[in-house]
Amino acid sequence: MVDSLSLPSLFPSSSSLFPRVVSALRAAGCVFAEDEARLILSAARTAGEAGDMVARRAAGLPLEHVVGWAEFCGLRIAVDAGVFVPRRRTEFLVGQAAALALALPSPRAVVVDLCCGSGAVGAALAAVLGDAELHAADIDPAAVRCARRNIGADGAVYEGDLYEPLPRELQGRIDILVANAPYVPTEAIALLPGEARDHEARVALDGGSDGLDVQRRVAAAAADWLAPGGHLLVETSERQAARTVGTFLAAGLSAQVVECDELDATVVVGTAPGVGTAPGVGTAQRVGTAPGVGAAPGAGTAPSVDEASSVPAPASACAAGPRSRRA
């Protein structure tokens, strides 16, 4: 896990620059100026590069784009300019997916990460599951380049629209299908923080008129790709969850809502029919705070995390201790 408070400086004069960098970031409105200054100075190779990075951050670029990475599930995830920054709340999605994968009877889960963005979810699942057969896809070429770097030899990354670029032999074989699809309604894009609105790809944010357009497309074809009893997991918002459940049921999947208070995260878990089973609505679960678990401060916890959008896995802040409630 990256510890932002103990990262080494890469040039001798960085310590003397620290007060000036903090002042510049504070003047630009950065709430976590000290932490951001440490990250910038640890990433910069020269004083001139540090100055350029401070100027870009002061101009409103997300910190993750400035330093080139975000912390996610204890991993350092490369994030290039314009690529969606992985949100800490999405660690809950990873935790739910990993728990289901680890419970499978098969020794090697087949995992697909749709709308993979930087590949953060897929990379985190690969780190936890070890020997999973991992595939990931995204429509944005810049995101695909990032995902290939982050996933590396742990899986295959494809460029294209949802299922279109996946190998046909995956049909009917996928055990865990995760899709952190965009779910911000189109009219709400203008209300997002400028770091997201102005510096992340629109295709990674815009979920259509009600925010669920991409989720509907994912769910509609899921049954063709999932193995019997396989799971589809999507991140959504609490207010949209009921409609997401309806989308899953219409696609022939059972559906369960799982929520995490600490991360303000909502995940809908769909399950394909197995032998002798039929789709239905399961008991929803609300997961409370799990003390002592969570990521250390880093680029991924900076203020660029967009509270209006989406956002190690079993040790995610809300992976344990559910208390149930009826959907």
Whole-number percent of the chain with pLDDT over 90: 70
Residue 49 in tokens: 């590069």
In contact, 79 and 65? CB cutoff 8 Å:
yes
Q: State pTM to two decimals.
A: 0.82
pLDDT at 193: 82
* Mean of the per-residue pLDDT values of the chain: 83
Residue 205 in tokens: 């944010």
Residue 313 binned pLDDT confidence (cut-offs 50, 70, 90): very low
Residue 205 binned pLDDT confidence (cut-offs 50, 70, 90): confident
Mean pLDDT throughout 256-282?
Answer: 83
Residue 281 binned pLDDT confidence (cut-offs 50, 70, 90): low
Please provide the size of the chain in residues: 327
Q: How many CB atoms lie within 10 A of CB 176?
A: 25
Mean pLDDT throughout 272-279?
Answer: 65
Question: H/E element holding 270?
Answer: strand 265-271
Reference 258, options 236, 227, 226, 231; nearest CA is 236
Cα–Cα distances in angstroms (integers) from residue 41 to residues 63, 79, 155, 195, 267, in the given order: 12, 18, 33, 21, 36
Q: Please state, in angstroms and rounded to a whole number, the distance separating the CA atoms of residues 43 and 30.
A: 18
Q: What is the pLDDT of residues 43-63, one digit of tens each?
A: 999 999 999 999 999 999 999
pLDDT at 311: 28
